[in-house]
Amino acid sequence: MPGVTATTTPYWPQAFMSWFIGYLPRWFTIRWTHNLHIDIRKRALKKREREAALAAKTKYSRAHRELPTPRFQTHQLSRLSTLSFGNMSDPQNLLSSSAGLALAAIGALSVSCFAWNFIKLVTKSFILSGYNLKKFGAKNGRWAVVTGATDGIGREFALQLAKAGFNVYLASRSMDKLEAVHDANSGSNVQVQVHAIDFSRRDAQAEGEWSRLGDALKKLDIGVLVNNAGKSYDIPAYFDELTTQESEDIVQININATMRMTQIVLPGMLAKKNGLILNMGSFAGSVPSPVLTTYSASKALLSTWSQALAEEYKSRGIVVSHVHTYFVVSA
Helix 98-122 vs helix 11-21: crossing angle, to nearest 10: 160
φ, ψ of residue 98 to 5 degrees: the values are -65, -35
pTM of the entire predicted model = 0.71
* CB 188 within 8 Å of CB 166: no
Q: Which of 135, 295, 313, 326 is catalytic?
A: 295
Q: Between β-strands 222-227 and 275-280, what pairing exists: parallel, antiparallel or unpaired?
A: parallel
φ, ψ of residue 7 to 5 degrees: the values are -125, 145
pLDDT tens by residue, the chain, 331 residues: 333 333 344 555 666 666 666 666 767 777 777 887 888 888 888 888 888 888 877 655 554 444 444 444 444 344 433 333 444 445 555 445 666 677 677 778 778 877 887 787 778 767 777 778 999 999 999 999 999 999 889 999 999 999 999 999 999 999 999 999 988 887 778 999 999 999 999 888 889 999 999 999 999 999 999 999 999 998 999 999 999 999 999 999 999 999 999 999 999 999 999 999 999 999 888 888 899 999 999 999 999 999 999 999 999 999 999 988 876 766 4
Q: How many other CB atoms are found less than 10 A from the CB of residue 54?
A: 14
Tell me if residue 299 is catalytic.
Answer: yes
Q: How many other CB atoms are found less than 10 A from the CB of residue 190?
A: 20
φ, ψ of residue 319 to 5 degrees: the values are -105, 125
Which domains can be identified in the chain, with CATH numbers? 133-330 (3.40.50.720)
CA distance 23 to 212: 47
Each residue of 122-155: pLDDT tens digit? Answer: 787 677 777 789 999 999 999 999 999 998 899 9
CA distance 229 to 245: 18
Rg (CA), the chain: 23
Each residue of 189-222: pLDDT tens digit? Answer: 899 999 999 999 988 888 999 999 999 999 999 9
Q: Hey, which residues does 147 pair with through a beta bridge?
A: 171
CA distance 136 to 273: 10
How many residues are given for the chain?
331
- What does 210-265 look like in DSSP terms, one character per residue? HHHHHHHHTTS-EEEEEE------SS---GGGS-HHHHHHHHIIIIIIHHHHHHHH
Q: Which of 219, 299, 313, 326 is catalytic?
A: 299
CA distance 285 to 21: 13
Mean pLDDT, the chain, integer: 81
φ, ψ of residue 14 to 5 degrees: the values are -65, -40
* CB 196 within 8 Å of CB 175: yes
Tell me if residue 169 is catalytic.
Answer: no
- Residue 219: burial class (beta carbons within 10 Å; 0-12, 13-18, 19+): exposed
